[in-house]
Amino acid sequence: MALVLTEEQSMLRDSARGLISDKAPVSHLRSLRDSKDATGFSRELWRTFAEMGFSGLLVPEEFGGSGLGCVEAGIVMEEIGRTLMPSPFLATSVLAASALSRGGNEAQKAQYLPKVSDGSLLAALAIDEGAKHRPLQTKLQATRAGNGFKLNGDKAFVVDGHTADLLIVAARSAGAAGDKNGLTLFLVDPKSKGLAIERIAMVDSHNAARIVFDHVEVNADSVLGEVDEGYALLDGVLNIGRGAVASEMVGLSEEVFGRTVTYLKERKQFGKAIGEFQALQHRAAQLYIEIEITRAAVLKALQTLDADPGKAGTAVAVAKARAGNTATQAVQEGVQMHGGMGMTDQFDIGFFMKRARVCQELFGDSNFHADQLARAKGY
């Protein structure tokens, strides 16, 4: 498969870009932050997303979605990265939609997927517990009780957890922290007794939640996939999320870079445009090259996720590691090359820096993924 977008994919990109740049430029995020908006995103815009078919992009057509793939999801994520639009797209349309359509039984799919497609159901995936992404270390305990389970433990960094109508929770039903076996995914109603959700305002003005599970009861029907054998499903879903976040970082990096190059041509010091100084030219060229190479790696990962998801692990690790490094470099150079202006809140570039930091941590940072690659290659 050629590593370029098809005509349909380019059209999808144009329509996503048109909508997002028009309705949600960076000022959209800024005003949500400044008004301390309780939701943290625009529900009206989410309805528009649904009308355009974006919310059900990964949902199979029989459940009201468009049945498209990871490349297409990545295209939307990339446009989101360009304006930093806060949106349930990642948590609901990428993560939850993938988890439900890959792991759900017919009843679960019929119950939830149409609502994901039409935008009426928001969902969140609860995995992380400690300071770093270590899905194998999941400790949140699922103990059998009656014909169901009781959940006890804590989750952190649950993207959009505060607005979710449905939580997908990774829990340990057997084995010890570190084991691949013994993980189970549960579909949990956030209003369940014993469940406490705290919205966390993060550095990037996006939303995540800390969630405490205190003897939360779930019945047997709420198991997503197989009891004790949830790791493969979880890993597959996480890989899709990683590919999506890597795409967001590509969009983010490219936007910051574009703004910075424009500034290099406009800003004058010493009687000339600062873009005439070779010290800056070479760094700008290096950054351009990094972004181009990362873009290729990310597209490769997304295409592999669509063509052969079981073999996508390595390509995804490469993409997420690269995207994290590239975004970090892009935002640092972006601020640096803007001089004092780059440090001001009034200027948008800082928003990109903050978001890049969060994207790094989402589903494993560059070090995590380099380590995954090393393990896969047997060293």
Partner 1 sequence: MSDLEKFRREARAWLGQNCPPEMRKPMASDSDTFWGGRNATFSSEAQRVWFERMRDKGWTVPHWPTEYGGGGLDGEEAKIVRQEMAAIGARQPLTSFGISMLGPALLKYGTDEQKKEHLPKITAGLIRWCQGYSEPNAGSDLASLQTRAESDGDDYVINGQKIWTSYANHADWIFCLVRTDPAAKKHDGISFILFDMTSKGVSTKPILLISGYSPFCETFFDNVRVPKAHVVGQVNRGWDVAKYLLQHERAMISGMGERGVGRPLGQIAADSIGADEQGRLDDAPLRSQIASFEVDEAALAAAAERAVDLAKAGQSHPAFSSAMKYYGTELNKRRYEILMSAGGIDALEWESERSRGGARPRAWLRTKANSIEGGTSEVMLGIVAKRILDLPGA
Ligand X SMILES: Cc1cc2nc3c(=O)[nH]c(=O)nc-3n(C[C@H](O)[C@H](O)[C@H](O)COP(=O)(O)OP(=O)(O)OC[C@H]3O[C@@H](n4cnc5c(N)ncnc54)[C@H](O)[C@@H]3O)c2cc1C
The tokens for 338 are 């803007």
As measured in angstroms, the least distance from the Cβ of 264 to ligand X is 8
x/- map, 210-249, ligand X, by CB under 6 A: ----------------------------------------
Q: How many CB atoms lie within 10 A of CB 37?
A: 14
Among 23, 180, 267, 354, binds ligand X (CB under 6 A): 267
Q: Interaction with partner 1 in 234-273: which residues (CB under 8 A)?
A: 261, 264-265, 272-273
Nearer to ligand X, 219 or 269 (CB): 269
Cβ proximity to ligand X: between 248 and 333 the closer is 333
Residue (of 319, 253, 264) closest to 287 by Cα position:
253
Please pick, from the candidates 199, 314, 347, 358, the single residue that binds partner 1 as defined by CB under 8 A. 314
Cβ proximity to ligand X, 164 vs 280, nearer residue: 280
Residue 248 burial (10 A CB sphere; 0-12, 13-18, 19+): buried
Query: To which residue do tokens 């007794």 refer?
Result: 193
For partner 1, the closer CB: 314 or 332: 314
Lookup result for tokens 């014993």:
194
Tell the burial category of 206 from Cβ atoms under 10 Å away from its Cβ (0-12, 13-18, 19+).
buried
Output the residue with the shortest Cβ distance to ligand X. 339
Determine the Cα–Cα distance for residues 134 and 318; give it in Å rounded to an integer: 17
From ligand X, partner 1, none, interface partner of 132 (C-beta below 5 to 8 A by class): none
78, 157 Cβ separation under 8 angstroms = no
- Supply 205's token pair: 């003005």
281 is an interface residue for ligand X by CB under 6 A: no
8 A C-beta contact, residue 360 and residue 366: yes
Minimum CB distance to ligand X, residue 353 (Å): 14
- Specify the residue, 195 or 246, whose C-beta has the smaller distance to partner 1: 246
Closest CA to 372 of 134, 157, 125: 134
Nearer to partner 1, 191 or 377 (CB): 377
SS3 content of the chain, % helix, strand, coil (to 5): 55, 15, 30
Exposure letters 342-378 (e unless 16+ CB within 10 A, then b): beeeebbbbbbbbbbbbbbbbbbbbebbbebbeeeee
Pick between residue 131 and residue 379 the one whose CB is nearest to partner 1.
379
Instruction: Give the number of residues written for the chain.
Output: 379
Does residue 11 belong to the site contacting partner 1 (CB under 8 A)?
no
322 binds partner 1 (CB under 8 A): yes
Q: How far is the CB of 224 from ligand X (least distance, A)?
A: 49
Q: Which of 147, 340, 345, 379 binds ligand X (CB under 6 A)?
A: 340
| Tokens representing residue 105 in the block | 């039984």
Q: CB-wise, 76 or 274, nearer to ligand X?
A: 274
- Among partner 1, ligand X, none, the one that 87 touches (CB under a kind-dependent 5 to 8 A) is none
Alpha-helical (H) ranges within 35-136 are 43-51, 70-83, 97-103, 106-117
Please state at what angle helix 70-83 crosses helix 26-34, rounded to 10 degrees. 70
Partner whose footprint covers residue 285, from ligand X, partner 1, none (CB < 5 to 8 Å by kind): partner 1
- Which residues sit opposite 218 in a β-bridge? 149
261, 371 in Cβ contact below 8 A? no
- 159, 337, 349, 353: residue in contact with ligand X (rule CB under 6 A): 337
Structure tokens at 145: 């009780």
Near ligand X by CB under 6 A: residue from 269, 281, 286, 367? 269
Q: Smaller CB distance to ligand X: residue 340 or 378?
A: 340
Binding site for partner 1 (CB under 8 A): 2-4, 261, 264-265, 272-273, 275-276, 278, 281-282, 284-286, 288-289, 292-297, 299-300, 314-315, 317-319, 321-322, 325, 366-367, 369-371, 373-375, 377-379
Binding site for ligand X (CB under 6 A): 267, 269-270, 274, 277, 279-280, 336-337, 339-340, 343
